[in-house]
Amino acid sequence: MNSEFKVVGKSVPRLDGLEKVTGEARYIDDVKLSNMAFGKILRSPHAHAKIISIDTSKAEKLPGVLAVITAKDTPMIKFCLYQWIAEHYKGRLPREDYRDKLPLENYKVRYVGDEVAAVAAVDMETAENALSLIKVKYERLPIVLDPEEAMKPGAPLIHDELLRPGIQDGLERNIGISFVYKYGEIEKGFKEADHVFEDTFHTSQQHHVCMETHGAIAAWDKTGRLTIWASTQTASPLRMEISKALDMPEHLIRVISVKCGGGFGSKNEMYPHEIIATILAKKTGRPVKIVYTREEDFVSSRTRHPMIVQLKTGVTKEGRITARYGKVIADKGAYLSQGPGPLFTAGWVMTSLYRVENALYEGYSVFTNKPYAGAFRGYGNPQMTFAIESQMDKIAETLHMDPRELRLLNARRQGDITASGCEVKSCGLSECIERVTDASGWKKKRQQKTPRHGIGMACLTHVSGQRGIYGDADLCGAFVIINDDGTVTVLTGGSDMGQGLTTVLAQIAAEEIGVKLEDVRMVMGDTDTCPMDFGEYASRGTLVAGNAVKAAAADAKKGLLQMASEMLNESPENLTISDRKISSIKDHNKSLPISKVAYYAYFEKGVSLLGRSVWDAPTNLLDLVTGHTKPPGPSPAYLFAAQVAEVEVDPETGYVKVLNFTCAHDVGKCINPAMVESQIDGALHQGIGYALTEGLMYNKNGRAVNATLGEYKMLSASDMPPLSRHIIVETIDPLGPYGAKGAGECALVPTAAAVANAIYDAVGVRITTLPITPEKVLRALKQKENSVPLKMTLK
């Protein structure tokens, strides 16, 4: 491999930057079609109720109303993203069919915000007015908001189909899915331990709060073809889901992924509004746009799963982990969505970050009458990592070890195969720990013990790619065209949700072919023209789509080399391309510009300069039923990082100020350092918010009480520390394109633990429930005063 990269590894500006700063980029609400109508959704005011009747007659009569629909106007086909992978496990899962959501509910509503009816009108105001004219008669049902309550015998049953012989009054009440994974010999492991630590942690229902709310436009043409403009992370899978939900073939559906103002996982599954817009468009014969209000977005888009994590870890007196038991109760909310994924990821982390050979994991995903959780940057990882990394500090303190040394002792290393079977082909964890502590002045600051000041650290591992969302594959397809003037067009199904994938893929294509970045044109996220990509999740874009584009570029380049070989009378193996020039490595006088060779290929020899590739990661499913995999496991590569937080805690108010963050991230080969750094900065913002302020809250009727930008406390610029000190640890992963791994999700994974550990270092209280609000800190400080000198844990 060429070690002198020309495009890869450079902090080139985003290709879509100019479009965005000039306001030319078109997000969903910027798309205006002629004769377009506006759709609005009537949502349930009750957290749990039977739908007795719906009277739409008054709404229909309102001038300007074009259509009013209820469930009976839809195909009434239930959907659930989890169904895709469940198909693969047919016969091995407790249920065969996990589809539990209708675009419009016909029988029950299960959370405040559930879809009941919808209207299309000539303008938004009329549509809104029409909603108020729809009369729905409900029969209210008892509700349950707490997952532990929901599991108890006699709790209100949210999905009737879960009432089955044998489980209706047993432990599995309201359980959407559960896993039990066993690794090594857990009892032996605990026997070997000198100390056993047992703690319980609670995490909050963080919301993505994307800058752009959800939205879609649907339009039918007269030949029966459907086009959907969507703000989505997963254009191709969205087409698949719509195809199933409408029972129509995929080639009649075109999904166009418009510019996406943030996704963070919330935009990687089909939503009811996409089907509702489609049905309204069919009924009105006009394009129909539905864009969520911010309030709607807070309750009716997905969230992170709140989890109750019970963690028991055995260690030797030297600090070696001998065994670990974990139990997670995930609060699913009203519908399953992709709940099994985060639950499973939480279990995966337990044996992945550190060398843990003996383990037992129990996970339960439990329905409650609340807005339902789905995918969110890190999946189930931040929850479990908050638990693990908080507990690691407690262990270190008990063993009188520097937390840094405890982590280094147990750290995952290159060449390891984890207890679940994941092969770690590249691993910069130890280097991350060493460099982040060096750079942050860890040793000195831990010893100084400045009053109110604290320094804390936490580590993470995460996947980069994930086999097992859409069956037993993890693929991306790409086409590459080298044009007759030597410029390049790349077509791939990936979506750019703002993370910068367009730029990274263009860098990879330019590097592989040997042209300049500005020579590459990216066409992405249009299912009519772009080959399938499973989408942007699991930090897979750079690695999986990157490999697909690289392979397709190499395929297209073959023709260029063949042509140049004829023109230069040199064998293709002796040719190299860079900076738009094809040269012989043996004879430097033999050289031609790509533009000339491409021209000849098209106009003198008819040689193909088209490339195509489907890159399916050479990975193995982590079996959902057993929790085991064959190496290398579900991801082609694993990410590692270590973060150090410094905080100042005001003992009078409990207010925590984050002073700074130092981050060291192993991202494999770094394709674009500036963009990796901006990913880390953005993730830190979400991570610190997760640590200190964020989370949806509910009143006793199940209504979210802070579902506005004013009430839901995201950090503002003034709340944030200066942007992170960045250390990029460049391991070269054998499966990554040029050695690259992902970087999208990971930086928020350990952030809450690092902050919690720093708070403990500052004022000696350990908060185990997110978010760590001033009230909690203050309460803990008060309790601590009452029980000095013992440092205590507050749940």
Report strand pairing: 637-649 vs 656-666. antiparallel
CB of 717 to a second copy, least distance (A): 27
Question: Which residue in the block uniquely carries the two structure tokens 């729905």?
Answer: 136
Spell out the residues 6+ positions from residue 685 whose beta carbon is closer than 8 angstroms to its own: 715, 720
Q: Give the number of residues in contact with a second copy, rule: CB under 8 A.
A: 60
CB of 67 to a second copy, least distance (A): 20
Of 477 and 702, the one with the shorter C-beta distance to a second copy is: 477
Of 489 and 701, the one with the shorter C-beta distance to a second copy is: 489
Report strand pairing: 65-70 vs 453-464. unpaired
Of 285 and 721, the one with the shorter C-beta distance to a second copy is: 285
Name which position in 91, 153, 606, 722 contacts a second copy (CB under 8 A): 606
3-state secondary structure of 783: helix
By CB under 8 A, is residue 222 in contact with a second copy?
yes
CB of 98 to a second copy, least distance (A): 16
CB of 564 to a second copy, least distance (A): 17
What is the helix (H) or strand (E) element at residue 237, kind and residue range? helix 235-246
Distance CA 545, CA 505 (A): 7
Distance CA 383, CA 747 (A): 13
Spell out the residues 6+ positions from residue 72 whose beta carbon is closer than 8 angstroms to its own: 106
Structure tokens at 121: 């009108």
By CB under 8 A, is residue 586 in contact with a second copy?
no
Nearest of 746, 689, 659, 752 to residue 432 by alpha carbon: 746
3-state secondary structure 748-759: HCCHHHHHHHHH
Site string for a second copy, 526-565 (x = CB under 8 A): x-xxxxx--------------------------x------
3-state secondary structure of 678: helix
Name which position in 200, 316, 608, 706 contacts a second copy (CB under 8 A): 608
- Contacting a second copy within 43-102 (CB under 8 A): 84, 87-88
Distance CA 48, CA 139 (A): 9
The residues pairing with 101 across neighbouring beta strands, listed in sequence order, are 79
- Contacting a second copy within 451-490 (CB under 8 A): 470-475, 477, 479, 481, 483-485, 487-489
By CB under 8 A, is residue 630 in contact with a second copy?
no
Q: How many helices (H) and strands (E) does the chain have?
A: 20, 28
State the CB neighbour count (10 A cutoff) for residue 593. 13
Name which position in 567, 614, 720, 732 contacts a second copy (CB under 8 A): 614
By CB under 8 A, is residue 603 in contact with a second copy?
yes
Select from 18-26, 268-276, 584-592, 652-660 the region that touches a second copy (CB under 8 A): 18-26
Of 360 and 481, the one with the shorter C-beta distance to a second copy is: 481
Of 222 and 400, the one with the shorter C-beta distance to a second copy is: 222
Of 30 and 587, the one with the shorter C-beta distance to a second copy is: 30
CB of 458 to a second copy, least distance (A): 35
Name which position in 317, 605, 782, 791 contacts a second copy (CB under 8 A): 605
> Which residue type does 254 have?
R
Distance CA 437, CA 662 (A): 8
- Contacting a second copy within 505-524 (CB under 8 A): 519-521, 523
Name which position in 416, 616, 681, 719 contacts a second copy (CB under 8 A): 616
Of 73 and 526, the one with the shorter C-beta distance to a second copy is: 526
By CB under 8 A, is residue 22 in contact with a second copy?
yes
Distance CA 609, CA 557 (A): 7
Nearest of 536, 539, 487, 493 to residue 516 by alpha carbon: 487
- Contacting a second copy within 182-221 (CB under 8 A): 221
Report strand pairing: 195-202 vs 115-121. unpaired
User: Which residues of this chain interact with a second copy, rule CB under 8 A?
Assistant: 18-19, 22, 24, 32, 34, 84, 87-88, 221-223, 240, 243, 249-252, 470-475, 477, 479, 481, 483-485, 487-489, 491, 519-521, 523, 526, 528-532, 559, 602-614, 616-617
